[in-house]
Amino acid sequence: MCGVPHHSSKSYIAKLIKSGKKVAICEQTEDAKIAKGLVKRQVVRVVTPGTVLDDDLLDPKQNHFLVSIHSNTKGLGLAALDITTGLFKITELHGDNADSLLADELDKLDPKEIILPEIAKGKRKEAKWLENRDDCLHFCEDWTFSHTEAYGQLVKHFQTSSLEGYGCETLSLAISAGGALIRYIQETQKSALKHVSTINIFNVHNFMLMDQATVRSLELVKSSDGERKNSLLDILDLSQTAMGARHIREWILKPNIDIDLIRERLEQVDFFKNDLMLRQAIRDQLKSMHDLERLLGRISLSV
């Protein structure tokens, strides 16, 4: 344990988080003037690499994902949550190339923390998708990943009787990963997570499949020196808001293959290309817009 001046706590927390540590924040919960003996204190939040909310530790142009993975002989379930914006998405991967697809997806998500069941500890060497990720792994009790427990956790959080309305009722592996993730976030943040209001289901096969080697060799989001500068993203991203920048990054990493969606986007681009005055007026308005997604997240978490 350590005590630091409240006004400079952020810098100390930042150093600890960057080194891969978790920080439990305790606050005084009793008035010292009326307390008898020791003043009561309790843990009000646990800051982990995947649950950072401090702007100084966040990249405004990239989502800050915490990922949960559950697997069995039938396939892999993946859940990803950006606590700063409330974006919560899940998917399942099946087939002989499920492991390589997961490795590619993790490379695109760039998670700051990955939670796994305890049973996965002995299988780390077999999982190629965990290579070079030891520093961001956190293991939770196996029972939190059980389908029954995870399903109950999700319906309780979303206050529904089932998950049919979200279209994931049959995605048992994804549900296990998602439920364990929500439980972990609630336990560390001591919050109801009201800004996490829906489940987004995605299928990796709905987008152009690009493996890690392709993304890196084409320097899509990072140049050869590992920085954003001089990458394709750096050249194309002329967005006026952090929210727009995050979308552009995802679009570059996940190109559409649906011809109707491609045409719809091109028509929108053509519309604004041909109306210079309107385009510039909208850009001028967007310049003053704050990062509403992250602001709402901070309000929801009372930080």
State the Cα–Cα distance between residues 156 and 182, nearest whole angstrom: 10
DSSP secondary structure letter of residue 52: -
Q: Under a CB-based contact definition with an 8 Å cutoff, are residues 220 and 233 in contact?
A: yes
State the Cα–Cα distance between residues 241 and 283, nearest whole angstrom: 9
∠215-220-222 over CA atoms, to 5°? 95
Burial class (CB in 10 A: 0-12, 13-18, 19+), 57: middle
pTM of the model: 0.89
State the Cα–Cα distance between residues 299 and 194, nearest whole angstrom: 10
State the Cα–Cα distance between residues 105 and 251, nearest whole angstrom: 14
pLDDT of residue 29: 76
pLDDT of residue 2: 66
pLDDT of residue 286: 95
SS3 82: strand
SS3 30: coil
Nearest to residue 65, comparing CAs of 48, 44, 43? 48
SS3 233: helix
Residue 98 CB-half CA count within 13 A: 18
Q: What is the mean pLDDT of each run of 10 residues along the chain (303 residues)?
A: 75 83 81 76 86 87 95 93 95 93 93 92 77 84 95 95 93 96 92 90 93 94 91 95 95 95 95 95 94 90 77
